[in-house]
Chains A and B, each alone.
Chain A
């Protein structure tokens, strides 16, 4: 493996990727029913967020407890588009103001708010799914990283932003659908998204996009940018005094993680058929982190397994022993932090030394997780 495929991490990196591709593109579709496959598709959507966290938390040392914000931006953007498509004047003829989403009518809004207008266009919606989270992450990132806010402070502030966003969404129900969120999504450009066939198609779109995102992440880590990320985590000051503007690098990786999350949010919404504040609040936001931690905070591929493992475990337990699930989930947080700092990928590394498939390079794997704990160094 040399030349332009180097970034996959040599032969082993390629094998790891192929195994994942085979699993989600062949094994799942062949062995699962539509319902289960669609469930798997939703877990894969969480995989986008977890993969983003591997980049910004595992490699960049930036723990964001606010990924729900970006997941939500992606989800709400596509939901707004679908909702407008569903709210034709004919379909909403019984409303006081036909042609606007039902929840607006219930809240006595008589005109589509200006910020809903762009979501009449699919092109603008798709652009918004990429640009809005990047822009928002950039503003937060630059504001905080230029002032050397990192570590715990960054985590707490991102968590506060999640709280602010969810309260705002619930409070402004005339514009956002409130606590119920945006529901009753039916068609995408006339294509019914609730049929079995659509579920399978959406699953494959999600799976391919996820593989694309992982490839992009691997390429990023393999570039000089990736080495600078590791260098920053090791010795931030040294990087600064080698002539790099550290804040820009951190802001960029935070943006990348945000865009990953937004793509995941959009794919999730398409498969779930609605988007609501509870899907993006404090609890989901911190669960995204545990997906990445379970999978292995230094492994993009591991992050996907982490999201799926917890997703399927939750389904299994929530049916059989609902009251045990929270105990188990709590234990997972503790066990991963205390005993498995590199997650499933770390276990694999340890017990299958001959097949080194999960991580992009030797150096990255050996990286210790040094956390920056101070506001200012």
Chain B
């Protein structure tokens, strides 16, 4: 096994069981810097659980998650964020009663302690960054709207924008195009392609067309373990993958 410090993210022998049910079972998963990886798999394959484990929402029963050589499994959630891991949830999770601008600003990685937050001042760097990111997630005209008034798709973008404010090395996006129109999907695909050069990204998605659009390397999960890995064509012609999806 190669030294796992070469990877941005090295998940090894990861297991989590809920009252005996192993949602993730001895999983090994590696990612390089600046890589865009799509994770697919049937319902209950453990995709969301994998993200939960990496970002600390669920604690692993066994195994290790190393991020830039640092062990994440024992860190509390907010410390994992400090290491540079950002997570978008499956249902868009934004602060409905704050404006889009406030949503973005709250995600800015300064003033994260209690005293820091009390002393925090909006400076030009923050304002520029907010503008820039609002533009990249197609929300620059909605900055002063309350987030609760956004469409479902726009909320998805806002949440991605909130992650970008944190400038994470690894972005984990759980079903980023759920509830989007065809046009919004296109725009999201473009957005992800633009981001791919700057961050490492894990995307969980069901929509195969979308996966083809953005996908380079695809990992197929099944019953908490990796079933296949490779580019889209390889994976789609893999007999085991076909069996799983057709339900044999």
Q: Point out residues on A near B: beta carbons under 8 Å.
A: 220, 223-225, 227-228, 230-231, 234-235, 237-246, 248-249, 252, 363-364, 366-368
Contact = CB atoms under 8 A, between A and B. Distances in A.
Residue from B89, B95, B112 having most chain A Cβ neighbours under 10 A:
B95
Contacts of A246: 78
A239 B89 CA distance: 12
B166 interface: yes
9 contacts: A234-B98, A237-B93, A241-B78, A243-B82, A244-B78, A248-B114, A252-B114, A363-B98, A368-B97
Given A243-B112, A244-B112, A363-B102, 11 more contacts: A220-B118, A227-B102, A230-B97, A231-B103, A237-B57, A238-B162, A241-B77, A243-B78, A243-B82, A245-B78, A368-B96
B95 A234 contact: yes
Nearest to B88: A241
B89 A238 contact: yes
Interface string B91-123: 001111111001101110101111001111000
B139 interface: no
B81 interface: yes
Nearest to A245: B78
Nearest to B82: A243
Contacts of A220: 118
Nearest to B159: A238
Contacts of B98: 227, 230-231, 234, 363
Contact residues of A: prevailing secondary structure: helix
Given A231-B95, A363-B146, A241 B114 contact: no
A224 B118 CA distance: 6
A80 B160 CA distance: 56
Contacts of A241: 55, 57, 77-78, 81, 86-87
A30 to B, nearest CB: 38
Contacts of A234: 95-98
B197 interface: no
A223 B114 CA distance: 11
Interface of B: 55, 57, 76-78, 81-82, 86-87, 89, 93-99, 102-103, 105-107, 109, 111-114, 117-120, 146, 148, 159, 162, 166
Q: Which are the 10 A-B pairs with shortest beta-carbon distances?
A: A243-B81, A367-B97, A224-B120, A225-B117, A234-B95, A224-B117, A231-B95, A238-B93, A252-B114, A242-B107
B76 A245 contact: yes
Contacts of B113: 245, 248
B114 A249 contact: yes
B97 A225 contact: no
B83 to A, nearest CB: 10
Given A224-B106, A366-B146, A240 B118 contact: no
A243 B76 CA distance: 10
Contact of B166 (A243, A248, A366, A368): A243
A366 B118 CA distance: 23
Given A220-B118, A225-B117, A230-B95, A242 B106 contact: yes
A223 B81 contact: no
A235 B158 CA distance: 14
A243 B98 CA distance: 18
Nearest to A249: B114
A242 B166 contact: yes
Contact of B97 (A239, A249, A364): A364
Contacts of B162: 238, 242
A338 to B, nearest CB: 22
B222 to A, nearest CB: 27
Nearest to A226: B117
A201 B209 CA distance: 76
A246 B112 CA distance: 10
Contacts of A238: 89, 93-95, 159, 162
Contacts of A235: 93-95
A224 B114 contact: no
A78 B109 CA distance: 43
Nearest to A246: B78
Nearest to A242: B107
A204 B159 CA distance: 49
Contacts of A242: 81, 106-107, 162, 166
Contacts of B166: 242-243
A178 to B, nearest CB: 39
A71 to B, nearest CB: 24
Residue from A220, A231, A243 having most chain B Cβ neighbours under 10 A:
A243
B101 to A, nearest CB: 10
Contacts of A368: 96-97
Contacts of A366: 97, 146, 148
Residue from A227, A241, A245, A364 having most chain B Cβ neighbours under 10 A:
A241
A237 B99 contact: no
Contacts of B112: 243-245
A4 B120 CA distance: 14
B195 to A, nearest CB: 18
A229 B2 CA distance: 45
A245 B209 CA distance: 39
A220 B119 CA distance: 10
A198 B5 CA distance: 72
Nearest to A237: B93
A249 B106 contact: no
Residue from B78, B93, B103 having most chain A Cβ neighbours under 10 A:
B78
A248 B115 CA distance: 10
Residue from A231, A239, A366, A368 having most chain B Cβ neighbours under 10 A:
A231
